[in-house]
Amino acid sequence: MTGQSRLSWTDVRDEIQARILDRTYAPGDKLPRDNDLALGLGCARTTVHRAMQELSRIGLVERKRKGGTHVRTDPVTRATFDIPITRREVEQRGSKYAYQLISSAVKPTPGSVMARFGTPHPAEVLHVKALHLSDNRPYIFEDRWIDTTTTPDILEVDLACNSANEWLVRNKPYSKLDVRFFAINAQGENAEHLSVAAGEALLVIERTTWIGTAPITTVRSVTAPGYQLSAQN
């Protein structure tokens, strides 16, 4: 590139984020020095520095003095709150975490999930139901659909031992997020898996993620009574 670059720090941020999303820079990788990135992109080092500050703030990279910049192994992806690894969420409260896979099967996308994904045609999706426990008590019942086109590696994961929640947070950063919160009255499998009486009020957190316009996953996390959600700006 010759002449003065017109790249803004947001352009640089988006370019580096895209390289993280497409795994040019994989989790744990050390990124090139700011000077080298600036040279390759044809912009000022200060522009790269500002972009890196933002990527660090949103949780995609970690910068250490004299240690360089690395892609986070556990990327913290932000909306107005962090999308947590449920295991860590439980352990940080001082409780013992456990996990149970209830079912896992590849199916055509049902209409309700197509609506959440915003896709006009069905595709092959992995339907996963799982229960997260805290001190041997039900904590979150997770009903998740994963697009196997954007996330084919999930089919190789032993979900009996590794939760889809943790694998996706570690391995599948996203570029777009939609979150909804709503309450339901416990019934059917929600009441059964959370061990609560029918009719009890439960909080549901529904999250859907995309890479570009292509869907990654949508999940309804039904939480046990007493669940608390904290957020920070």
- Give the CA dihedral 77, 79, 85, 86, nearest 10 degrees: 180
User: Strand ranges (DSSP E) for 112-175?
Assistant: 124-134, 137-147
Q: How far apart are the first and last CA of the chain?
A: 38
Q: Kindly report whether the global pTM for this prediction surpasses the value 0.95.
A: no
Tens-digit pLDDT profile for the chain (233 aa)? 444 457 888 889 888 988 887 788 988 899 999 999 999 999 999 999 999 988 888 788 899 887 899 998 776 555 444 568 899 999 988 999 999 999 999 999 999 999 999 998 888 999 999 999 999 999 999 999 999 999 999 999 999 999 999 999 888 888 788 999 999 999 999 999 999 999 999 999 999 999 888 999 999 999 999 887 765 44
Q: How many CB atoms within 10 Å of residue 158?
A: 9
Q: How far apart are CA 51 and CA 216, in angstroms?
A: 25
Q: How far apart are CA 38 and CA 226, in angstroms?
A: 49
CB of 212 closer than 8 Å to CB of 155: no
Query: Left, alpha or beta for 66 (phi > 0: left; psi -120 to 50: alpha)?
Result: left
Q: Which amino acid is at 231?
A: A
Quote the radius of gyration of the chain (alpha carbons, Å).
Answer: 20
Among 52, 50, 203, 217, smallest CA distance to 127 is for 217
What is the predicted pLDDT for the residue at 1? 41
Q: How far apart are CA 33 and CA 25, in angstroms?
A: 13
The sign of the CA dihedral 203, 79, 229, 61 is: positive
Chain position carrying tokens 């996706």:
168
What is the predicted pLDDT for the residue at 75? 64
Q: How far apart are CA 219 and CA 228, in angstroms?
A: 18
What is the predicted pLDDT for the residue at 82? 56
